[in-house]
Chain A
């Protein structure tokens, strides 16, 4: 958290150049270099894959695992759920295993479908590492996955199935998304520049972020963050292109505001989905300015992190929480000149301000939209 806070305050980007040699194209990515050499403890060796390594690394930052374990002892392990967002889970292992098929075309014996390949492996692994015994699932709705886990966990808490949940997202770089976005001509050859006039696509990142969500108990501590509302919707328009007027996004934001009993003027900052593709940013701009007007400070932090796909929602919720805790608007640090056709109040550099309530947007393929609203527990 401290490293993230400092990078945001300094307006630094973690994107680095990557020449995809074989195919001869350039892109920028936000990698987690430690993953290549990270070894899971012997107990978890059977779960080894890049995605679970990242989950393990993230769980052990900031004493999160200890916190979750202590909380589970308080609530009872059965009363704490695990809801994780991921899009590709351990598919990178599968891609690699396909290069090692034997003469009969069979995958190597070391290939593990349940512990690495399948989407649920992400939640199964987190639940196992933390010793939790409550309900668990993976939400896999492309780039809204780890935003939607907050909404789903809040519902399970509200209806009494659980008392608390570990929610979050984890997604890692792999060939499927690299070559997939390349084929759609959505990968920028420079660091992505959300809302820039010259924006030419997204930059991929990898990330893990976890949050402990529990029923607000009345006596909140001053640095607690409240999940004030959530809104979810579908575009019903196209599989990989957003509705041009941002109708689905607008519906999600409206529904988040309604669920929080808030109105547009109550929002102090919008952490945009802002991938840096031409159509995504244009549609989101219409949705945001149409509902919230042109004054509310907005930025996309994907120029700093890259687009972590299924982990983006959770990462950006954490960044939004840091904005509240530090009373600082994060900047869209790779954007040099805002597209004159886009009218939101896009901040290119971090700046201090009064940040009490934040809207965080996450949209994805299949026309999935999720808007989360968070706020300071003590105004």
Chain B
């Protein structure tokens, strides 16, 4: 199977924040075998685009999502202020969730009153809210939670939006580890955000920069692709955003072909990648 047929969309920019792969240029060099995989995960930068009050309240996952998203938008040459967005995460802000559960489990009722910031940071769409405040984007935004299949679910959501009238869209998939005791029940590797800026068409005059690739999507029974390198395969399995590594790998290498990503237990996403 080398051709999925059907409608295509254009990948215009990639952002990578956190883990050993931090930033798309770094990740690309590692995936192409031109640079070694760093031994340590990169620190998470604070997002400079947030207003001071929000910057104080924004948690690690918000900064991961923002940094990855902004990198993808900048490299695509798109305007974040007018862009529709899809966010995906399985656990959202795990440190915040932990703190709420500890507070509510306290025998002292005085501890049960959560701070307002703690509560509003608990919504799965907190990153989307901070993103909109930072960029001024009033366009449509959604936040999906699909366990380990978030990368494929978000891509499918974006694909459907692009085929039904949304001109450009940003997909940001992010995850950070829980503290114990939740970490033992849901182990996540390094904090990671992966963002893709996508457009519905690449018509003449529309794009200032050449897109990275043309993508076609289809559902498949095929098993998901694995990474050839053992350490990269370990990363792929360590978090929902990392499940998108086979796509990044294909883009980095610039080869035309079909890759398959994890999605649900009995369903995977096939993507035909045609680099431009």
Contact of A239 among B115, B120, B141, B153 (CB under 8 A): B120
Q: Which of A106, A117, A176 contacts B122, CB < 8 Å?
A: A176
Interface residues of B in 88-131 (CB under 8 A from A): 90-92, 97, 100-105, 109, 112-116, 118-126, 128-130
Instruction: Give A324 to B7 CA distance when docked, in angstroms.
Output: 37
Give B140-175 as 1s and 0s: 1 = Cβ < 8 Å from A's Cβ atoms: 111111110100010011011101100000000000
A 343-379 binary contact with B (CB < 8 Å = 1; else 0): 0000000000000000000001111100000000000
Whether A366 lies near B129 (C-beta < 8 A) is yes
Q: How distant is the Cα of A160 from the Cα of B134 in the complex, in angstroms?
A: 35
Which of B109, B124, B128, B143 has most A Cβ within 10 Å?
A: B124
Report the bound CA distance from A91 to B98 in whole Å. 11
18 new A-B contacts, CB < 8 A, other than A138-B144, A179-B113, are: A23-B112, A87-B124, A95-B101, A106-B180, A113-B182, A113-B186, A114-B186, A135-B219, A140-B125, A159-B159, A159-B163, A161-B159, A176-B114, A234-B132, A234-B141, A239-B126, A365-B123, A368-B125
- What is the interface of chain B, defined by CB distance below 8 A to chain A? 7, 54, 57, 90-92, 97, 100-105, 109, 112-116, 118-126, 128-130, 132-133, 135-147, 149, 153, 156-157, 159-161, 163-164, 180-182, 184-186, 219, 263-264, 266-267
Residues of A within 8 A of B149 (CB): 120, 137
Question: Which residues on B sit within 8 Å (CB–CB) of A236?
Answer: 132-133, 135-138
Q: State which of B142, B153, B185 has its C-beta within 8 Å of the C-beta of A135.
A: B153
User: In this assembly, does A221 line the interface, its C-beta being within 8 Å of a C-beta of chain B?
Assistant: no
B138 in contact with A234 (CB, 8 Å): yes
Nearest A residue to B140 via CB reads A232
Q: A118-B91, A155-B164, A248-B138 are in contact. Are A367 and B129 (CB under 8 A)?
A: yes
A95 x B105 contact (CB < 8 A): yes
Name the contact of B104 in the complex, choosing from A98, A105, A141, A181 (C-beta under 8 A): A98
The reply to whether B267 and A140 form a contact with Cβ atoms under 8 Å apart is no
Q: If A106-B181, A365-B120, A367-B133 touch, does A141 touch B125 (CB 8 Å cutoff)? A: yes
A182 touches B (CB below 8 Å) = yes
